[in-house]
Amino acid sequence: MATTENSNIVIFGASGDLTQRKLIPALYQLFASNMLPEKFTVLGVSRSGYSDESFREKLQKALEDSENVDQVTLNRFLKHLYYLSLDPSDGSQYGALTERLDTLGKEHQTGSNNLFYLATPPSLYGLIPQFLAEQGLNNEADGWKRLVVEKPFGYDTASANELDDVIHHKFKESQLYRIDHYLGKETVQNLLVFRFSNGMFEPLWNRNFIDYVEIDGGRVPWC
Query: Is residue 153 included in any domain, yes or no?
Result: yes
Total of domains in the chain: 1
User: What are φ and ψ of residue 94, in 5° steps?
Assistant: -75, -15
Query: Is residue 132 included in any domain, yes or no?
Result: yes
In this structure, the number of other CB atoms found within 10 A of the CB of residue 155 comes to 11
Query: Is residue 18 included in any domain, yes or no?
Result: yes
Query: Is residue 156 included in any domain, yes or no?
Result: yes
Query: Is residue 38 included in any domain, yes or no?
Result: yes
CB 70 within 8 A of CB 76: no
Domain extent, residue 148, equals 7-183
Question: What's the rounded Cα separation, in Å, for the pair 156 and 162?
Answer: 10
pLDDT at residue 219 greater than cutoff 50: no
Query: Is residue 69 included in any domain, yes or no?
Result: yes
How sure is the predictor about 185, in pLDDT bands with cuts at 50, 70 and 90? low
Q: Is pTM, for the whole model, over 0.85?
A: no
Per residue in 76-103, pLDDT (tens digit) is 999 999 999 999 999 999 999 999 999 9
Question: What's the rounded Cα separation, in Å, for the pair 214 and 85?
Answer: 40
CB 60 within 8 A of CB 101: no
Per residue in 114-163, pLDDT (tens digit) is 999 999 999 999 999 999 999 999 999 999 999 999 888 888 889 889 99
Query: Is residue 170 included in any domain, yes or no?
Result: yes
Q: Choose between 31 and 155: higher pLDDT.
A: 31
How sure is the predictor about 223, in pLDDT bands with cuts at 50, 70 and 90? very low
The runs of H, that is alpha helices, within the chain are 17-18, 24-32, 52-66, 71-78, 94-108, 127-134, 157-168, 185-189, 191-196
Question: What's the rounded Cα separation, in Å, for the pair 27 and 31?
Answer: 6
- Tell me how many degrees the CA angle 133-169-99 measures, rounded to the nearest 5: 5
Per residue in 34-66, pLDDT (tens digit) is 999 989 999 999 999 999 999 999 999 999 998
**Residue 80, domain CATH:** 3.40.50.720
